[in-house]
Structure 1
Amino acid sequence: MTAKDVTSMIAEYLTSPGPEKRAIVEKLAETPDVAFTATLRFRGPYPESLHPRDVHDTHLVDLMTELLKQFPHLFTECELKNIDRFQRQPLICAAISTHDPQFTDAIIGALKDRSIYIKILVMDAIGRHHYLRTAEAKKQLERLLTVKSIAESNCDRPHVEKALAAFNDCVSSNPKRNL
């Protein structure tokens, strides 16, 4: 399957109903690496009925989530720092959406990303998902509070504080994760 074929299938996926989407995902899963790369790099054609932002923030994240559930190596073997920042956010969102603990270290590692939007995405996920509340996550969050631009920001600091507060709500059943 060529990259052009995959791009056409992705465009079809965007407008298909549920059962047809499932069939497209199965077809894309025949060449997961090609499909995943094409999904990350997708830039159209966009259906008239969907705004490009919705395509990237919802539909393509859903598609990547399905691919990651079947082929976790697509995330675990990628170097996040080598991925364009506009592609990193939906990728990390897809990894979070799988609810797969094997992605924990890479997701928490994104707290070191240069983009505050990536950091906020991870911080909000820590608040929602117990398995992300690791000793390393807490250490990184505490480090972020020492970064002047975050510590002095009335917008960014509350995200860090909320994520840290989530640690008080949970003690993991995995002793390795407990603080």
Structure 2
Amino acid sequence: MAQVASLFTLFTHHAKTFRDLVYSLRNSLLKTGVFTNEKVAEQQVVSVINFDIHLRRDADGHRYIERITECVPVEQEAGYPETFRHKTTTEEKMTAFMETMLEYFRRSTDRPLYVARNVIEYRDGSYVAVHPLSERSRKEIAACLAGPDQAAFEAFLAVHWGDSDEN
């Protein structure tokens, strides 16, 4: 449902970490039998989870938001290095080709599909801006806001995260 016809989807979960949430949802997709490949199922999960708002309860029973984590998908469509094509000697070509093969095997085995970044954390009784929102999230949020609200949103980002190139 989260893939079509909605601006957002809300649901609850009991995962302790963002990674556990992704794995749990991935495994649920695999159990349905619709997916047979872990990586493809995980890509589907990552494509729909934008943020995880993680709640916590302290020893006194006080509930609070412990962290807000953004899921930033890692670009998967990048081409492979082809520097070997421009080398002149056989040894240079082989060395460059081995770098291409190393990249191929890295992508085939343990290539991350996303980066989980805490944008806000609860520390010592107050909320702290940690990592700025990704450029993708900034644009998607701003596109849903009218002119004055867009300006207020940009001002909010500037106050709490400044102009960061970490996006």
TM-score (norm 1): 0.29
Which structure: greater strand fraction?
2
Which structure: greater helix fraction?
1
TM-score (norm 2): 0.30
- Over alpha carbons, which structure has the higher Rg? 2
